[in-house]
A and B are shown apart, each in its own frame.
Chain A
Amino acid sequence: MTPELFFLLSSVLFSIGLVGLVARRNLFVLYMSIELMLSSVNLLLATFSKVLGDASGSVIALLMIAVIAAEVALFLALIIHMYRSSRTIDSDTFDRLKGQIND
């Protein structure tokens, strides 16, 4: 059992999250991709905690779980707000900040 397997799994999960963030347009899938990226970093922290024989990495991961929970509450409230204002969960609809060059 070597740490390399955990490093490989963590980087692959981070990349899957990044791909989901780039390629999909469903707001919920975007949100779950961000969650997956944060969780892969958590896995990396736990692995370092075991590699170094230090429990501090585990504590940082624990604090990060709390940050993830706060982020989830805000993101879901934001999705509900956006769905109420425009009746869709397509992220391409929300381009009001893009500005209109032709006008």
Chain B
Amino acid sequence: MLEISIFSILALFMLGGSIAMLVNKQTLFSAFGFLVAMIGLAGMFALLDSRFLALAQIMVSVGAVVVLSMLTILTINAKEENLPHEPNKYKWIAFASLLVLPITLLIYKSTSALYASFATMQTINSKVVGKLLFSEWVLPFEIVSILLLSAMVGAIVIARKDVVQTQGEES
């Protein structure tokens, strides 16, 4: 009973946050909705007994990703006239929802037909995750570290100022 109520509150947070992200015109309010959705997702991970995953979600998704995107939004500081002009936004959203609804039902039906109950197990704490990460999953772990390094270098190269200028001179 307690789990169901916690789940409903968290699901309400997540759905409300993501819908607020979807419909807001101001970009910063969209980012706040996204923040609420990510915190709700961390709570869901904790509810699913993945403690280390909940911590990583809070640290990376909330603490780094959302804060970085908010900083970028505030740095760009797009004025009202620079925001995209979307006169019939709600019509598009309703149309796309109708279009996506069969996909939703398909995903839900195909996943929920697989398993009907949870397995009884101990909580997944950092000890279990660390043992798995350094024995079975050590190659993906190393590949992810190389990916992160190359993404950082690529982000620095893309966001440099003279990339735009040389392209402008060529064209």
Contact = CB atoms under 8 A, between A and B. Distances in A.
Interface string A21-44: 011111011011101100100111
A73 B155 CA distance: 6
A62 B52 contact: yes
A49 B96 CA distance: 32
B100 A19 contact: yes
Main secondary structure of the interface of A (DSSP, over half): helix
Contacts of A20: 21-22
Contacts of A85: 164, 167-168
B164 A26 contact: no
Interface string A60-85: 11110111111111101111110111
Interface residues of B, number: 90
Contact of A72 (B68, B117, B144): B68
A32 B30 contact: yes
Contacts of A22: 92, 96, 99-100
Contacts of B147: 66-67, 70
Interface residues of A, number: 77
A55 to B, nearest CB: 5
A1 B118 contact: yes
Interface of B: 3-4, 7, 11, 14-15, 18-19, 21-22, 27, 30-31, 34, 37-38, 41, 44-45, 48-50, 52-53, 56-57, 60-61, 64-65, 68-69, 72-73, 75-76, 78, 82-86, 89, 92-93, 95-97, 99-101, 103-105, 107-108, 111-112, 114-121, 124, 128-129, 132-133, 136-137, 140-141, 144, 147-148, 151-152, 154-156, 158-159, 161, 163-164, 167-168
